[in-house]
Amino acid sequence: MNGKPITRSCGECTTCCNTTAVLALNKPEHQWCTHCDIGKGCKIYETRPSGCKDFYCDWLKGVGEEDQRPDKTGIVAFRAGNVKSGGLYCIAEMEHGQLDTPYARRLINKALKLPFVVSCSFVRRRTYLVIPTGAVIHPHITKLMMSGVGYKNADSV
Ligand code: SF4
Ligand code: SF4
């Protein structure tokens, strides 16, 4: 969280219960959580892991238009930490190809200008990082790059 007040509610959206990994449940990205009542909510809401309780996508925090809720756009975006601490702007697609839409491209380009390193999580391709042009890379990000996560320069995407 970045301290921004929560201005919206998830409603029927359960998209991050698919796109996002939950370590406590050993749930990988891009796979429905077994506790998810798709399009309705969490079946273990009261006892869900802290990683779920603390998760707020950017849309929930008021970023973007009302009708751009993740279940409508297929895009879940959130910030993990800040630029100084080597944080990432994480963006995931619900279905193949949604990260190539103009909407997703706009979000990615906006984050690169901050400048955030962007982690793009695809359904059918490996996740890769996009490195902003001329950015000083935090050691935390360098470690990720050395651990085998693919990366590209912003100019080449
Ligand atoms: S993607 Fe955002 S709006 Fe949708 S369920 Fe998750 S936190 Fe709520
Ligand atoms: S435990 Fe609940 S909130 Fe967490 S991913 Fe599963 S369905 Fe979603």
Over residues 105-110, mean pLDDT: 96
In angstroms, rounded to a whole number, what is the distance separating the alpha carbons of residues 81 and 64? 20
Q: Is the CB of 16 under 6 A from ligand 1?
A: yes
Q: Ligand 2 atom closest to Cα of 37?
A: 7
Ligand nearest to the CA of 91: 1
Two tokens, residue 94: 């619900």
Q: What is the pTM of this model?
A: 0.93
Over residues 82-90, mean pLDDT: 90
In the numeric block, the tokens 């409603």 are attached to 11
- Domain limits of the chain? 56-156
Question: pLDDT band at 2, cuts 50/70/90?
Answer: very low
In this prediction, what percent of the chain has a pLDDT beyond 70?
A: 97
Question: pLDDT band at 4, cuts 50/70/90?
Answer: low
pLDDT at position 1 over 50:
no
Contact 71, 38 (CB under 8 A): no
